[in-house]
């Protein structure tokens, strides 16, 4: 498969550009860059749980938007960049500890918009959240 990435990227680059951002605050780490996906992890701890001691839906959305937005921005040439237009999520299961893994894959990579699918799973591979993130390509 040919890669979708238009910008050269490594896991180390992603960690560098997300220093002092919400990623660092939430403990988001990037783990894999495939030919057509980006994968990362986020802890389920005091930073990401809600008062019922389960993963906060807002933390899941922040995680999904991080993966989708970074992926989208890697699919355009400078000086173009992507910004979020819309994000939605279905929270289908809960988790109260450990780590979650998210994987962003493209559904549509157009000249003006991108649509990304982000699935978030628990450590035992249970599907927790399905998100769709729409980006606008700015030129």
Active site residues: 65
Which residues lie across from 119 on neighbouring strands? 103, 130
Q: Report how far residue 137's alpha carbon sits from residue 122's, in angstroms, rounded to the nearest whole number.
A: 31
Give whole-number Cα distances, 53 to 31, 45, 59, 70, in Å. Answer: 26, 9, 13, 29
53: alpha, beta or left? (left if phi > 0; alpha if psi -120 to 50): left
């Amino acid at each position: 498969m040919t890669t979708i990435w238009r910008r050269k990227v490594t896991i180390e680059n992603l960690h560098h550009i997300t220093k002092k951002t919400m990623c660092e605050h939430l403990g988001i780490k990037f783990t894999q860059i495939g030919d057509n996906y980006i994968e990362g992890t986020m802890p389920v701890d005091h930073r990401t749980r809600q008062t019922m001691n389960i993963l906060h839906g807002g933390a899941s959305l922040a995680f999904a938007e991080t993966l989708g937005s970074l992926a989208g921005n890697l699919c355009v040439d400078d000086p173009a960049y992507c910004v979020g237009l819309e994000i939605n999520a279905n929270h289908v299961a809960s988790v109260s500890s450990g780590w979650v893994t998210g994987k962003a894959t493209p559904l549509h990579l157009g000249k003006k918009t991108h649509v990304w699918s982000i699935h978030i799973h628990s450590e035992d591979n249970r599907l927790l959240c399905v998100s769709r993130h729409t980006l606008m390509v700015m030129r």
